[in-house]
Structure 1
Amino acid sequence: MSAESTPDPGIPGESGTTGPRHRAKGRRRKPRGNRRKGLLVTAWVAGGIVVLGGTGVGYVYFKLNGNLKSVDIDQALGTNRPTKVDNGSENILVLGSDTRSGSNQKLGGGADDGSARSDTAMIVHVYKGHKKASVVSIPRDTLIDRPECTDTNGDTHDAATDVMFNSAYTTGGAACAVKTVESLTDLRMDHYLEVDFSGFQKLIDELGGVKVTTSRAINDPDSHLDLKAGTHKLTGEQALGLVRTRHGVGDGSDLGRIQLQQAFVKALVEQVKDVGLFTNPKKLYDLADTATKAVTTDSDLGSVNSLMSFANGLKGISAKNMNMVTMPVQYDAADANRVLVDDTKAQQVWTALKNDKPIPKSATKGTATGQANGVVSAG
């Protein structure tokens, strides 16, 4: 399986456009204004830390179990969903949320209004045998047709046309985000994992930082990031700045940020493998405690035992066996701050995943990019 990272375009905003949608290739304009950026955390990293933390600290099982939050996606969405594919593979929707309440207010840079958005969305496809994975990032600013959905409180939300992808989570939370992804891909999401700003930052600090190399300087006052070219051991705050930055690299689009996120994920996966947790019980417990407080899962993963079992099946996936791409999109000629799904190429991605096959390189050739590839690498 290849390990290429193909970025997608997109820029944050409040709602979708209502004008005509035209696909357009070419260089993306710099986005206007200062907009909030999101974060990135991967399913197997959060779950992997939990499994490492849970092993050997059974005496704190009930403490860790009490930390977990879960949502009943199956109950909310009912039976009108894509059929589960019984071929040994799994699909996990991973969201990074930027709630503006509590400790996230400072990190997110907004008022404590209790609102939340999915600033990062990734479909993690784990292949049969759980030795390889493909990760498809969905740009938050992709214009889509959002389906009608029922949230976990039982409230129904109307369908909407030409709205941003991340409006699904804002409108109806986890259940509506899953419904929208399933409508977009015709792939059943077997699991759901969500991590927020403060949880991400704490996890990185508990790990002792993550080592990355930047091929050139990155300076973005909006995300409070200032890195010279070279190798760095990023703190939680710096890591959060890296996965949130848009203006510091590439063409200033959300697609460039996705490329940085994908590179950071690979560095993080390698870091988790080398922490040496089993020789340090206190660090092991601290990581487990932080991770279980940081994540929200679907109800099937809503206990430490379930999450440990799930994560244990992902530990064999190394960075070199992760193919990271972005959902094929093109810049929207009608709005420089939006992107549109390249339907033909995107279908190649969804068909490959449904059949548990590698994503063909042709699926991402000629699609929009954020021009930030190669700026960050592991170690």
Structure 2
Amino acid sequence: MLDIAEELNRWVEQGRDFAVATVVAVGGSAPRQPGAALAVDADGTAIGSVSGGCVEGAVYELCRQALQDGESVLERFGYSDDDAFAVGLTCGGIIDILVTPVRADDPVRPVIKAALQAAASGRAAALARIVSGPPDLVGRALLVRTGEDDDNGSYDSGSYSGSSSGSYGGGFGAHPELDRTVAAEAAAFLDAGRTGTLEIGEQGSRCGAPLTVLVESSVPAPRMIVFGAIDFASALVRVGKFLNYHVTVCDARPVFATQTRFPEADEIVVEWPHRYLERTDVDARTVLCVLTHDAKFDVPLLQLALRLPVAYVGALGSRRTHLDRNDRLRQVGVTDLELARLRSPIGLDLGARTPEETALSIAAEIVADRRGGSGVSLTGAHTPIHHDVTSAPARRIGSAA
């Protein structure tokens, strides 16, 4: 649901009733991942997608029905060779979809509203919803936010039983220990920026039955920092924005580092690259693209960059430049293990020549690195089309030994 937070937040502000269908789990080759959502309002307007088209019509009708009867429902869609005309995924996968009504008088609406507001404004938040379990608990929700975003440093909670608070009591309308357990687990999901499910055994749920909980994490956009205000950087900024990065351009030369040359950049910094990198915030999702192509900038910058816990470090240059740069980096104490992190020459082998083609090559390498792709052609390959190095099986807690 949080993947369409901006649009849904506008619907909430406008007082619209709607139902939202969210992918809970996938099996095999499925087009969308857990957290992907489709929403339908009372007028029949639809936004988002759960399957790329395969089952959208059927899910649309489930949303319309949920708006009428006020009931949450968990539905599975797959593909059957026995009934080729049945509603299902043509790719052969399986998806489980939770459909939840969010009407003005539904007690869950306040927590959904708070989650959408946080996600739409770029603040970190995790929304936990009960997917399966006792019928009276399905659809109930709990929101976890970071301490800096929430005055009490814990979570907001709400349920169909009418509870909405910022304390530990009453989140799911069951046992307070269940709220505390899910809040702690959801916080861990949020720290990792991960969306997935929790399997809570009967003992852990404290409600007499096992539960499945979907946790959706929304975190601020990852950073792409482009060092070197050159023509290749301009193209890379555009591609970075297309991939939903928060893009910063940094160059020590004020005549080149201007908003006029990089109108789509979120931030322009005129400073020596290594000095800026020393003082700015980076994390495990940050990508650093070094396009300065000048040893006096590259060496101190890469000496620092290769020791930071970032997702990607790439540097522009010919193979000859790469070898010379590596020698210079070794001279200032960079180890071979650290050099192994450097993507240089930057990008995948696409035969790129223009700035736009080079930007595409760099972006392709970043995506492949992030998702665990090989970068080879899918034609004739026998590897999965969709694979994610950050994916993990459902976490199970509270089960009987």
The TM-score by the shorter chain falls in which range? Answer: under 0.3
Q: Taking structure 1 as the reference length, what is the TM-score of the superposition?
A: 0.25
* Structure number with higher helix proportion: 1
